Chain A
Amino acid sequence: MTTITRPEGDAQPPATSVKALDRQMERSVIGESNLKRSLRRLRKHRMAVVGAVILVLIILYVLIGSLIFPESSSNFLDTSKRLMAPDAAHPFGTDQVGRDIFIRTIYGGQISLFIAVTAVAVQLAIGVTAGLLAGYFGGLVDTIIMRFAEAMLSIPQIFLALIAVRIFANAIPDFKIGGREFSNTLVVMIIVLGATSWMRLSRIVRSVVLSVKEQEYITAARSLGLPPRRILLRHVLPNCVAPIIVSATLGVASAILLEAYLSFLGLGVRPPTATWGSIISEAKEFLAQGNWWYWFFPAVFIVLTVLGINFLGDGLRDAFDPKSLK
C-alpha cells in the first residue's frame, strides 16, 4: 500500500498525428508480444533511458576501472599521504592510511553492486516461492506464510537486518576467490538483505496467483493431471513476470541503500572488503577535520546508482502497467 505510483499517462505523450495513431493500431492488431510492447514503451520513457545510461556508466566505471588498476592498488597504503585533498595524482583524495579513494570507489562499487544484485536474487527466490505457494495452495499454507510475512513487516527492516547480521555473523568463515580476500560478512550481507525484504514481493505474487488460478487454462492444466510444480512454473509464474521485474529492479536500489546503512553503522561488510558504505563509515570518524572528499565521492556513487535504478524501475512500471496502455 505504500508503493508510490505515478499517475497513468505520465510516461507517454499521446499519439498526435494520424500516422502515429495508425502505427500504434497496426502494432496492436498484429499482436506484438507483451514483452516487446513493454520494451518499446520503455525506450520512449525518457527518465528510464536516462536511468539506464547512468547505470551502464557506473557498471563500466567499476569494471573498466578494475582492469586498469590492479586490486592491490586499492589496498596500497602510503602513510605519508594520509587524508590528502584531491589532486592530479589522487583525483578523489586519499583516506586515513593514504589509500587512493578513487581506486577504492571502483573496488568498493563492485562489491556494493554485487551484494545488491545477489541479495535481490535471494529475495526473489524466497518471495516468489512464498507467494506462489501461498496463492496456489491457499488454506493453511497461505495463512502460515502470509501471517509470517505480516509479522516480519511489523518490524522495521533495519532492525530485522541488524538482528540477522548478528545471527549469521559467526556462521560463515572468511574466504578467498581469485586471489582476492573477502570477509565472511559479504555472504552474510547477501543473505540478510535478501531474507528481510521478500515480504512485499510475496504479497504481490500471491495476489497475481489468486487472480489467475481460477481461469480456465489453469483448470485445464490441472485436469490434464499436471503436477502442481509444472502448473506453477509454466502456467502461473509467467503471469507474474512484470511485477517481479519491476520489484526486483527497485529492490536493487533499496538493497544498495540498506547495505550502505548497515555498513555505515559499522555492522556491514568488514575489512579487507570495502563497499561504498564502509568507506563512508570510516570517513565519519574524521568528519570534524573537514576532509569532505573521504565521504563525498562514495556517497555520490550511491546516490547516482540508486537514482538510476529508481528512474529505470519507474519507467519499467509505466511500461508494464496495462493501465497506461491508452
Chain B
Amino acid sequence: MIKYITRRILQSIPLLFLITFVLFALMNGIGDPLAVYGEARNKPNPQQRMEIMRRLGLDQPIYVQYVYWLIGNDWAQVDVRGDGTLMELGRRKGVLRGDFGMSFRTRQPATQRISERLPNTLILMIPSYVLTVLLALAIGVYSAVRQYSFFDNLVSGMSFFFYSMPIFFIALMCIYIFGVQFQRWGLQPLPIGGMYDPGKTRNFANLLPHLVMPVFCLVAIQLAGYVRFIRSSMLEVLGQDYIRTARSKGMREQRVVRRHALKNAALPLITLIGLDIPFLLAGAVVTEQIFSWPGMGALFIESLTYSDFPVLMVILLLLSIAVVFFQLLTDIVYTWFDPRIRFN
C-alpha cells in the first residue's frame, strides 16, 4: 500500500512539472505585465521599464524564467542596466523553496492574495457541493428504483432541462424575481451581490441571506448531471443477477436497495466526486461574477485583466496539485470500498 502510494506520488511529479511549464509558457503570451504601471503617477520611461523587466527576469528566455520561478534567482547575477556589467543578485527564492512571488498589481505576496480569497470560495462551494451530492443521491436512487414512474419521468425531463441551462440564466431569473420584483411587491428582497451587507458586522447571520441565491443556482445546475449519473449507475446495478438473488431469498426491498445496490452504485460516484472536488477550489467563475462574490474565480479574472502572472500561476499550481492529489486519494478510497481491486 505504502509502496503503491509512493510510486503514484513519484509518477505525478513529472506531470506537475509538465503542467507548470505549459502554463508558464502560456502565461508569457497573455500580455504586458507592466501594463499596471500605466496607471501609476510616475510612468516609467523606456529605460526604467527595461530595468524593471530585467529585475523581474522578464527579459530572459522562457525556460530561464521557468527555472527562476522554480528555484529562484538569488544565485544568478542580474544585469539591470543591460550593459554587460552584472549589478546585483536576484531576490527571488523560487516556488520550490516556498517563494511564490509578489503580485505585480498589489505588491503583496501572491499566496496572501490567494489566502484572502480561498475561504470565500469555500464558503460558497462546499455547502452547494454537499447539498448537490446529497440531493442527487436521494433523487437519483428514488428515481431509479421507480423507473418509468411519473416521478422518474419528471426527474429525467427536469434534469435534461437544467443540464442544458447556462447558470447565468437561472441566476438572472433569481435576481429578477427575488431581488428586483420582491422589492416592488413590498416583500423583503434577497441581497443580489456581495458576501456581507456593507457597514454591518461580518457574522453568519449577515452572510446567510447572501448565500441563498448563489448556492441555489449552483445546486440547481450541478444537480442535473449528478442525478442523471446516479440514476443510470443505480439502474445498471439493479439489473444485476445478485440483486435478483437478494430479492428472491426474501430480503426486504429497502435493504436490497441500501445494502446491495447503493453500495455498488456508489463506486463510480466516488470517482466522479474525486474528479470534481479539486475544481471546487477554482470557485465558480460565472456565478461569482454575477453575485459579485469575492472568490477565487473573481481573483482569476482580475489577475488575468492585469496580467498578474505570479497570482495566476499560484492559482493554477494550487489547482493542478489538488487534481493530482485527489486522483490519488480517489484511487485509495476506491480500493477501500471495492475489495476486488488490489494494488499490484
Query: Would B172 and A290 count as touching, CB distance under 8 A?
Result: no
B164 CB within 8 Å of chain A: yes
Name the CB-closest residue of B to A306: B164
- A147-B18, A163-B26, A302-B166 known; A280-B300 Cβ under 8 A: no
Query: Would A7 and B236 count as touching, CB distance under 8 A?
Result: yes
Query: Would B168 and A299 count as touching, CB distance under 8 A?
Result: yes
Query: Would B286 and A261 count as touching, CB distance under 8 A?
Result: yes
A49 CB within 8 Å of chain B: no
Partner of A307, one of B27, B161, B225, B307: B161
- A166-B30, A167-B26 known; A290-B176 Cβ under 8 A: yes
Q: Which residues of A contact B320 (CB under 8 A)?
A: 151, 154-155
Query: Would B300 and A151 count as touching, CB distance under 8 A?
Result: no
Query: Would A156 and B164 count as touching, CB distance under 8 A?
Result: no
The CA-CA distance from A170 to B35 in the complex, in Å, is: 15
- A302-B169, A303-B169 known; A310-B282 Cβ under 8 A: no
Query: Would A155 and B316 count as touching, CB distance under 8 A?
Result: yes
Q: Which residues of B contact A167 (CB under 8 A)?
A: 26, 29-30
Query: Would A4 and B228 count as touching, CB distance under 8 A?
Result: yes
The CA-CA distance from A7 to B289 in the complex, in Å, is: 37
Q: Which residues of A contact B236 (CB under 8 A)?
A: 7
Those of A251-278 within 8 Å (CB) of chain B: 253, 257, 260-261, 264-265
The CA-CA distance from A307 to B307 in the complex, in Å, is: 36
Report the minimum CB–CB distance from A285 to chain B (whole Å): 12
Q: Which residues of B contact A302 (CB under 8 A)?
A: 166, 169
- A1-B275, A154-B319, A265-B285 known; A166-B31 Cβ under 8 A: yes
B22 CB within 8 Å of chain A: yes
- A4-B225, A290-B176 known; A303-B164 Cβ under 8 A: yes
CB<8 Å pairs between A and B, sample of 7: A151-B22, A159-B316, A162-B304, A163-B30, A166-B29, A166-B304, A295-B169
Q: With A265-B286, A292-B176 given, name 6 new contacts (CB 8 A).
A: A154-B319, A155-B319, A159-B316, A163-B304, A284-B168, A299-B166
- A4-B232, A5-B232 known; A155-B23 Cβ under 8 A: yes
Please give the residue numbers on chain B whose beta carbons come within 8 Å of chain A beta carbons, in ascending order. Answer: 14-15, 18-19, 22-23, 26-27, 29-31, 160-161, 163-166, 168-169, 172, 175-176, 179-181, 184, 192, 225, 228-229, 232, 235-236, 239, 268, 271-272, 275-276, 278-279, 282, 285-286, 289-290, 300-301, 304, 307, 312, 316, 319-320, 323-324
The CA-CA distance from A283 to B275 in the complex, in Å, is: 34
Query: Would B290 and A284 count as touching, CB distance under 8 A?
Result: yes
Total of A-B residue pairs, C-beta within 8 Å: 132
Q: Which residues of B contact A310 (CB under 8 A)?
A: 160, 163-164
Partner of B19, one of A47, A151, A288: A151
Query: Would A290 and B316 count as touching, CB distance under 8 A?
Result: no
A6 CB within 8 Å of chain B: yes
Name the CB-closest residue of A to B327: A154
Name the CB-closest residue of A to B320: A154
The CA-CA distance from A253 to B164 in the complex, in Å, is: 8
Indicate with 1 or 0, residue by residue over A1-20, a CB within 8 angstroms of chain B CB atoms.
11011110000000000000
- A264-B286, A299-B172 known; A148-B163 Cβ under 8 A: no
A55 CB within 8 Å of chain B: no
Report the minimum CB–CB distance from B37 to chain A (whole Å): 18
Report the minimum CB–CB distance from A10 to chain B (whole Å): 8
A158 CB within 8 Å of chain B: yes
Please name the 4 residue pairs, one residue from A and one from B, whose CB atoms are nearest each other, closest first.
A306-B164, A307-B164, A154-B323, A166-B30
Please give the residue numbers on chain A whose beta carbons come within 8 Å of chain B beta carbons, in ascending order. Answer: 1-2, 4-7, 47, 147-148, 150-152, 154-156, 158-159, 162-164, 166-167, 170, 253, 257, 260-261, 264-265, 280, 283-284, 287-290, 292, 295-296, 299, 302-303, 306-307, 310-311
Query: Would A287 and B176 count as touching, CB distance under 8 A?
Result: yes
Report the minimum CB–CB distance from B249 to chain A (whole Å): 25
Q: Which residues of A contact B301 (CB under 8 A)?
A: 162, 265
Q: Which residues of A contact B14 (CB under 8 A)?
A: 147
Query: Would B235 and A7 count as touching, CB distance under 8 A?
Result: yes
Query: Would B181 and A290 count as touching, CB distance under 8 A?
Result: yes
Query: Would A307 and B319 count as touching, CB distance under 8 A?
Result: no
Candidate in A155, A158, A296, A306 with the most chain B CB atoms within 10 angstroms: A155
Q: Which residues of A contact B22 (CB under 8 A)?
A: 148, 151-152
Query: Would B165 and A303 count as touching, CB distance under 8 A?
Result: yes
Q: Which residues of B contact A253 (CB under 8 A)?
A: 164
The CA-CA distance from A310 to B163 in the complex, in Å, is: 9
Candidate in B30, B169, B323 with the most chain A CB atoms within 10 angstroms: B169
Query: Would A151 and B164 count as touching, CB distance under 8 A?
Result: no
Q: Which residues of B contact A154 (CB under 8 A)?
A: 19, 278, 319-320, 323-324
The CA-CA distance from A4 to B164 in the complex, in Å, is: 14
Name the CB-closest residue of B to A260: B166
The CA-CA distance from A47 to B160 in the complex, in Å, is: 11
The CA-CA distance from A156 to B23 in the complex, in Å, is: 13
The CA-CA distance from A148 to B289 in the complex, in Å, is: 30
Name the CB-closest residue of B to A298: B169
The CA-CA distance from A299 to B165 in the complex, in Å, is: 9
Query: Would A265 and B289 count as touching, CB distance under 8 A?
Result: yes
Partner of B166, one of A158, A261, A292: A261
